[in-house]
């Protein structure tokens, strides 16, 4: 399943975002940013 919150092309597709997308997206984005520090 593709996470619409991780699609970084303009505005997110709000109609496709579901509650179950939030935690995995935050986990991935935090991990990516921590790796850059």
**Could you tell me the pTM of the whole model?**
0.76
pLDDT for 1 beyond 80: no
CA 36 – CA 4 distance, rounded (Å): 23
**Neighbour-count burial of 4, counting CB atoms closer than 10 A to its CB (0-12 exposed, 13-18 middle, 19+ buried):** middle
CA 36 – CA 1 distance, rounded (Å): 26
Alpha helix stretches (DSSP H) within 1-37: 19-36
**pLDDT tens track for 12-37:** 889 999 999 999 999 999 999 999 99
Q: What pLDDT sits at residue 5?
A: 93
């Amino acid at each position: 399943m593709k996470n619409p919150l991780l699609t970084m092309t303009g505005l997110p597709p709000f109609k496709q975002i579901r509650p179950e997308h939030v935690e995995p997206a935050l986990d991935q984005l935090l991990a990516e940013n921590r790796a850059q520090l």
